[in-house]
Amino acid sequence: MGTASLGSGWARGAQVVGMALVLAAGPAGAGEPAQLGPRPFYLVDSMKPGPLKERLQACGADRPYTARRFSISHRGAPLQFPEHTREGVLAAARMGAGVIECDVAFTRDRQLVCRHAQCDLHATTDILARPDLAAKCSQDFQPADPATGRKASARCCTSDLTLAEFMSLNGKMDASDPQATTREAYAHATPRWRTDLYATTGTLMTHDAYIALVKTLGRRFTPELKAPEVPMPFQGYSQDQYAQAMIEAYKRAGIPASEVRPQSFQLRDILYWLKAEPEFGRQALWLDNRDETDPGFDPEKPESWKPGMAELTALGLRTLAPPLWMLVRVGPNGTIVPSAYARAARSAGLDLITWSLERSGPLKDGGGYYYKSIRPLIDRDGDTFALLDVLYRDVGVKGVFSDWPATATFYANCMDIE
Q: What is the H or E stretch that residue 338 is in?
A: strand 336-338
- At CA 409, angle to CA 97 and CA 355, rounded to 5? 70
42 to each of 46, 57, 60, 364, how far by Cα in Å? 6, 11, 12, 14
pLDDT, residue 7, reads 28
Residue 395 contacts residue 338 (beta carbons within 8 Å): yes
Beta bridge partners of 401: 72
> What gap in Å lies between CA 375 and CA 150, rounded to an integer?
32
Residue 53 contacts residue 388 (beta carbons within 8 Å): no
pLDDT, residue 62, reads 86
Residue 71's Cβ-side half-sphere holds a number of Cα atoms within 13 Å equal to: 36
Q: Reduced to 3 states, what is the DSSP secondary structure of residue 62?
A: coil
pLDDT, residue 32, reads 56
> What gap in Å lies between CA 401 and CA 75, rounded to an integer?
9
pLDDT, residue 61, reads 81
> What gap in Å lies between CA 251 and CA 18, rounded to an integer?
42
Work out the angle between the directed axes of helices 51-59 and 383-390 (0-180°, nearest 10).
Answer: 100
Residue 98 contacts residue 71 (beta carbons within 8 Å): yes
Residue 405 is which amino acid?
P
Beta bridge partners of 114: 104
> What gap in Å lies between CA 158 and CA 118, rounded to an integer?
5
Residue 372 is which amino acid?
K
Backbone angles phi, psi at 170, to 5 degrees: -115, 135
> What gap in Å lies between CA 50 and CA 267, rounded to an integer?
41
> What gap in Å lies between CA 36 and CA 15, rounded to an integer?
9
Mean pLDDT by 10 residues, the chain (418 residues): 29 30 34 83 98 96 92 98 98 97 98 98 98 98 97 98 98 98 96 96 98 97 97 97 98 98 98 98 96 88 95 98 98 97 97 98 95 97 98 98 98 95
Taking the alpha carbons of 390, 395, 400, 401 in that order, is the dihedral positive or negative?
negative
Taking the alpha carbons of 130, 132, 134, 140 in that order, is the dihedral positive or negative?
positive
pLDDT, residue 416, reads 94
Residue 3 contacts residue 70 (beta carbons within 8 Å): no
- At CA 398, angle to CA 395 and CA 399, rounded to 5? 110
pLDDT, residue 16, reads 32
> What gap in Å lies between CA 115 and CA 83, rounded to an integer?
8
CA 411 to chain centre: 17
Q: What is the pLDDT of residues 272-331, one digit of tens each?
A: 999 999 999 999 999 998 888 888 999 999 999 999 999 999 999 999 999 999 999 999
Backbone angles phi, psi at 263, to 5 degrees: -130, 155
> What gap in Å lies between CA 97 and CA 339, rounded to an integer?
27
Which domains are present in the chain? 13-105+204-414 (3.20.20.190), 118-187 (no CATH)
> What gap in Å lies between CA 69 and CA 80, rounded to an integer?
22
